[in-house]
């Protein structure tokens, strides 16, 4: 009798522990799933791909000019570009390009070839020479979020980290062509003050 009681106690402890472990695993799975829902990726493509797609379906282009050593670039990736509202809006209304401003890619833009002839492979993860395309766009700080219109003209280079609601203003302004009615700093200030952000930011 004592032997049976001992066996049942051990089985009871095993099943109880097993139930607890299942609940812990389920909790971890739910937390992971919620993080996947909360963080969403932008569909990044190359500049050449964006230009080709633009010929068929005109949209503005948003370029994330970054460097591999840039801490603020990584911060903007995490808090802004992985924000669900930002990613949803950009994926729907823009062609998004992520460009290493000190990288070694060869890029054809407006019939010209841009490269980085002074690129040093031994410094691939450190500061390197500026890519010719970043010089063409006169990029002087990182990150810089660059907007191009449907004719590949530069609308604005936004320097520094922009939080989701800060970027929202420009995303919606350019998408709706409202920038065409803003002719002065005063007009922009009025637009800025009247703007009601909708993106959720943590």
Q: What is the DSSP string of 27-72?
A: HHHHHHHHHHHHB----EE-HHHHHHHHHHS--EEEEEEE-TT-HH
Mean of pLDDT values over 56-68: 97
Mean of pLDDT values over 179-191: 96
Residue 7 has pLDDT above 70, yes or no: no
- Confidence class for position 202, pLDDT limits 50, 70, 90: confident
Q: What pLDDT, on a 0 to 100 scale, did the predictor assign at position 40?
A: 76
| 106-155 pLDDT, tens digit each | 999 999 999 999 999 999 999 999 999 999 999 999 999 999 999 999 99
SS3 category, 73: helix
Residue 38 has pLDDT above 80, yes or no: no
Q: How many CB atoms lie within 10 A of CB 135?
A: 14
Residue 24 has pLDDT above 80, yes or no: no
First to last CA, the chain: 60
Residue 32 has pLDDT above 90, yes or no: no
Q: What pLDDT, on a 0 to 100 scale, did the predictor assign at position 121?
A: 96
Closest CA to 63 of 99, 110, 33: 99
- CA-CA distance, 114 to 201, in Å (whole number)? 36
Q: How far is CA 73 from CA 40, 79, 144, 187, 195, in A?
A: 17, 10, 9, 30, 26
Q: What pLDDT, on a 0 to 100 scale, did the predictor assign at position 6?
A: 54
- CA-CA distance, 81 to 29, in Å (whole number)? 24
Tokens of 184: 């002065």
Residue 15 has pLDDT above 90, yes or no: no
Tokens of 60: 């503005």
40-44, 100-104, 162-166: which range is least confident on average?
Answer: 40-44
SS3 category, 99: strand
Q: Which residues of 145-160 are buried (b: 16+ CB within 10 A; e: fewer)?
A: bbbbbeeeeebebbee
Mean of pLDDT values over 58-80: 97
Mean of pLDDT values over 61-68: 98
- Confidence class for position 192, pLDDT limits 50, 70, 90: very high
Q: How far is CA 104 from CA 21, 38, 83, in A?
A: 49, 33, 29
Q: What pLDDT, on a 0 to 100 scale, did the predictor assign at position 60?
A: 98
Identify whether the C-beta of residue 87 lies closer than 8 Å to the C-beta of residue 40: yes
Beta-strand pair 44-45/94-100: parallel
């Amino acid at each position: 009798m004592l032997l049976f009681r001992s066996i049942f106690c051990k089985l009871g402890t095993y099943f109880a522990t097993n139930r607890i472990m299942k609940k812990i695993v389920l909790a971890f799975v739910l937390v992971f799933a919620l993080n996947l829902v909360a963080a969403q990726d932008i569909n990044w493509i190359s500049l050449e791909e964006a230009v080709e797609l633009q010929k068929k379906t005109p949209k503005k282009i948003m370029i994330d000019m970054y460097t591999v050593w840039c801490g603020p670039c990584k911060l903007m990736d995490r808090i802004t570009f992985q924000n669900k509202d930002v990613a949803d809006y950009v994926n729907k209304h823009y062609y998004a390009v992520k460009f290493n401003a000190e990288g070694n890619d060869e890029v054809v833009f407006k019939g010209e070839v841009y490269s980085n002839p002074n690129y040093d492979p031994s410094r691939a993860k450190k500061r390197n020479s500026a890519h010719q395309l970043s010089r063409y766009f006169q990029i002087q700080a990182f990150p810089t979020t660059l907007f191009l219109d449907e004719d590949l003209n530069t609308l604005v280079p936004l320097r520094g980290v922009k939080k989701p609601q800060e970027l929202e203003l420009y995303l919606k302004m350019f998408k709706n062509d409202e920038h065409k009615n803003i002719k002065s700093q005063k007009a922009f200030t009025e637009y800025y003050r009247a703007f009601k952000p909708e993106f959720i930011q943590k």
